[in-house]
Amino acid sequence: MTVSPQQIASLVTGGVAAIALFAVLYSGNQSSNATRSDSTTIQVANAASRNEDTGGRLGALEPEFDMGTIGNKKETEKKLTISNTGTGTLEIKDVRTSCGCTKGYFKDRRKDKMKTTKLKPGESTDLFISVDPFRVPGFESQKTLTLFTSDPENATMSFDVLAKVEPEFEIEPEQLHLGELNKGETAKGQAIIRQLGDSEFEVISVRAGARAAETYTAAITPRPESEWRSPGKQEWNLDISFDSSAQRKGLFRDRIYVESNCKRLRTYGYMINVDVQTFYSVIPEMLHRRDAVESGAASVTSAVVTSDQPITIEGLTCSDAGLIVSVKQVDSPNSAVLDIGVAQDASPGVKNATIEFTVVSAAGDRADHSVRAIVAVKESK
């Protein structure tokens, strides 16, 4: 077969074109592979970098740090180990406590106190914690200490600091419970104040608390030396007399104050409580009309007196003539409603009145009671 010059030229041209196309495709594939290879290398490098430094991590801490029993004459300081368990630097940015009696800090080489520090991976340091007994108003302390850190998982870490202060004296029992009284009954109770330390100690007086008026009295008397538990350490009787006549139903609690020459605790609050029982209840104990009303308005507020037996209300009085108080009997003989209205000639302004009455049961029990009524009267138009 004879091949013409035109056919030879066509074959050569086609071959050159094929070679050029292959070269272009091969070059593009190599470039794509290189790009993928570079991207993979970068990702691996970034992952390695992340594994090398995951940030500082604050080591685990117990929920409580118990200082034990501390002295009563000066601050006590103890140490708690703080560690960095991460692969990066851990920064403690601040140390705060819930009360000034307890402090937390680090120390530099000069022993200066600092609120901040930095820990390298695996490094530990001492957190110093101190408690000042002169700022503890008793014999036990429980305060919260909080660390502010760069740990992304524990930006704040809190725990309680516990301490017992060596007592200069004690009161036995720790609080005086006078038991359960029916309203109108009286009760007496006694506690013993004992010197414990070797420093000079003397009880000067006792001061009744804010709720003492017409309810209870408190007094102290020295105990005979023959009754002291420890020779040379004085004791006093603390006597409480409680009258429940003016008390409402429920738990009565108050703090009385023992004054002494103790340098750390010149005044010590001592808790007393008694559970007052009644054959009735009054709800609410304070009658309050929030919006102002016109003079002459009827039934502006009320209270319900209830019992587990039939009752009647006697001797109903009101300390402000601008309010009118009446008793409404309801379907049940065990209940009565105290209804408050405003007198026609009531002057404008806030009426803050005391309403007094006596609850009498079918069994013959009698109890005096009082409630407050607060009503605002509008200006006349």
Domain ranges of the chain: 64-165, 169-277, 280-377
pLDDT digits (tens, 9 = 90+) for 328-349: 878 899 999 999 999 999 999 9
Q: What is d(CA 209, CA 174) in angstroms, rounded to the nearest whole number?
A: 17
pLDDT digits (tens, 9 = 90+) for 253-262: 999 999 999 9
Is there a common fold for 64-165 and 280-377? yes
Main-chain phi, psi angles of 27, to 5 degrees:
-65, -45
DSSP 26-55: HHHHHHHHHHHHHHHHHHHHHHHHHHH---
Task: Tell me: pLDDT of 12 over 80.
Answer: no
pLDDT digits (tens, 9 = 90+) for 288-310: 998 999 999 999 999 999 999 99
Q: Does the bond joining 63 to the residue before it have cis omega, within 30 degrees of 0?
A: no
**Domain 64-165 CATH assignment equals 3.40.50.300:** no
Q: What is d(CA 293, CA 362) in angstroms, rounded to the nearest whole number?
A: 37
Dihedral sign, CA of 64, 65, 67, 73? negative
Task: Tell me: pLDDT of 16 over 80.
Answer: no
Q: Which spans in the chain are helix H?
A: 5-52
Task: Tell me: pLDDT of 282 over 80.
Answer: yes
CATH number among 3.55.50.30, 3.40.50.2300, 2.60.40.10, 3.30.70.1400, domain 169-277: 2.60.40.10
**Domain 280-377 CATH assignment equals 2.60.40.1080:** yes
> Rounded to an integer, what is the distance from CA 80 to the centroid of its chain?
25
pLDDT digits (tens, 9 = 90+) for 76-104: 999 999 999 999 999 999 999 999 999 99
